[in-house]
């Protein structure tokens, strides 16, 4: 009977060890997948930034060559840009409401 109990104890120990190895392998796989997802996300953000820069450079080059009216670009930017700092880069007026909002601290209750 003692021999059977000993075999059971050994089998349980091996099973516990196998479960621990499985848990570690799953954790490693999860970590590798997370790293891969992060790398892909970083590459996509970089590609998106590059596309944005290239489109902007293309439009600016057309404006400089006279192929695209500057007024059309400024109208497009006036409609799209909302942050005062961004609007100032292109010489666009900052709406009075935004100037007051930026100057006064937010009061929350």
Sequential DSSP letters for 28-39? HHHHHHHHHHHH
Same domain, 85 and 54: no
Write phi, then psi, for 105 (nearest 5 degrees).
-70, 150
Question: pLDDT tens digits for 73-107?
Answer: 999 999 999 999 999 999 999 887 666 565 555 55
Same domain, 109 and 97: yes
Number of structural domains in the chain: 2
Same domain, 64 and 94: no
Q: How many CB atoms lie within 10 A of CB 94?
A: 16
Question: Which domain covers residue 78, as residue numbers?
Answer: 69-109
Would the pLDDT of 30 be above 60?
yes
pTM value is 0.59
Would the pLDDT of 3 be above 70?
yes
Same domain, 21 and 2: yes
Question: pLDDT tens digits for 44-59?
Answer: 999 999 999 999 999 9
């Amino acid at each position: 009977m003692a021999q059977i109990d000993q075999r059971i104890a050994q089998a349980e120990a091996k099973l516990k060890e196998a479960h621990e190895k499985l848990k570690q392998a799953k954790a490693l796989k999860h970590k590798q997948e997370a790293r891969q997802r992060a790398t892909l996300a970083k590459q996509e953000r970089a590609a998106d930034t590059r596309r944005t820069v290239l489109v902007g450079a293309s439009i600016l080059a057309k404006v400089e060559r006279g192929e695209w009216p500057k007024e059309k670009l400024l109208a497009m930017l006036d409609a799209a840009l909302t942050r005062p700092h961004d609007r100032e880069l292109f010489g666009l007026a900052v709406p009075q409401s935004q100037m007051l909002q930026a100057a006064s601290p937010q009061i929350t209750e």
